[in-house]
C-alpha cells in the first residue's frame, strides 16, 4: 500500500504531501483542478509515467523481491528526482526507470478511463482468484478440478447432441 506521497515543484503544485489510509482512495474535483497532474506525478515515482517534478516520492509498505538486489526497509521509498534528467531510486539505491516500473508493477495497478480491459470478466475473475489464492492454497486445485469437470460436461453435452441429431435422422 502507498502510505505517503510527497511532491515538489510540479506545475501548479509547489509542494504536496498526501498520507493514505487503507481503503478506496478517490481523487475528485472540478475539471482543471489538478487530479490528472497529481496522478501523473504519483505514477512517475514508480516509473510508469514521465514528470517534470523536481521530486516525486512514494512510501510503500510492500516488500521488494530480493532477486532485484534492493535492500528492504520497513517502509520502502520509491523516488523520481529531476534536475536536467529524471533519475529513479528505491531506498536511495539508483535504479533504471524500467526496473523501478517492473518492481512496482507486481504491487500496483493503474486503472484508467482510457482502458477498460481491467474490468473485463476474465480479468476480474483472475483478480479475485489471485486474492483468494493468497489466503488459501486449495483454490488452485479446486479451480483445476472445476475446469476439468466443466470440460467433461461440454464433451458429454456434445455427445448428447450428436445422439439427438442421429435420432432425428432415423
CATH number of the domain where residue 75 is located: 3.40.50.300
CB 43 within 8 A of CB 58: no
pLDDT of residue 150: 96
Q: What percent of the chain has pLDDT over 90?
A: 56
> Do residues 103 and 150 share a domain?
no
Number of domains the chain contains:
2
Closest CA to 61 of 6, 22, 102: 22
Q: Which of 65, 54, 93 is nearest to 77 (CA)?
A: 93
Per-residue pLDDT tens digits for 135-163: 887 888 888 899 999 999 999 999 999 99
Residues 8 and 75 placed together within one structural domain of the fold: yes
Q: Is residue 118 part of a domain?
A: no
Segments forming the whole domain that contains residue 14: 2-110
Q: What is the pLDDT, as a whole number, of residue 25?
A: 80
pLDDT digits (tens, 9 = 90+) for 84-137: 999 999 999 999 999 999 999 888 877 666 666 767 888 888 888 888 888 887
Amino acid at each position: 500500500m502507498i502510505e505517503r506521497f510527497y511532491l515538489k515543484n510540479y506545475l501548479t503544485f509547489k509542494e504536496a504531501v498526501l498520507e493514505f489510509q487503507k481503503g478506496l482512495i478517490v481523487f475528485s474535483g472540478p475539471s482543471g483542478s489538478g487530479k490528472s497532474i497529481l496522478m501523473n506525478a504519483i505514477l512517475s515515482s514508480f516509473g510508469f509515467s514521465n514528470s517534470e517534478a523536481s521530486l516525486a516520492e512514494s512510501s510503500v509498505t510492500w516488500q521488494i523481491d530480493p532477486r532485484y538486489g534492493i535492500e528492504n526497509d520497513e517502509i520502502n521509498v520509491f523516488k523520481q528526482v529531476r534536475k536536467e534528467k529524471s533519475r529513479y531510486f528505491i531506498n536511495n539505491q539508483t535504479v533504471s526507470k524500467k526496473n523501478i516500473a517492473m518492481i512496482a508493477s507486481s504491487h500496483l495497478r493503474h486503472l484508467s478511463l482510457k482502458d477498460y480491459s481491467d474490468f473485463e470478466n476474465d480479468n476480474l475473475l483472475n483478480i479475485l482468484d489471485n486474492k483468494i489464492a493468497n489466503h488459501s492454497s486449495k483454490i488452485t486445485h479446486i479451480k483445476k478440478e472445476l475446469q476439468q469437470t466443466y470440460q467433461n460436461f461440454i464433451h458429454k453435452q456434445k455427445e448428447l447432441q450428436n445422439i439427438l441429431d442421429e435420432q432425428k435422422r432415423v
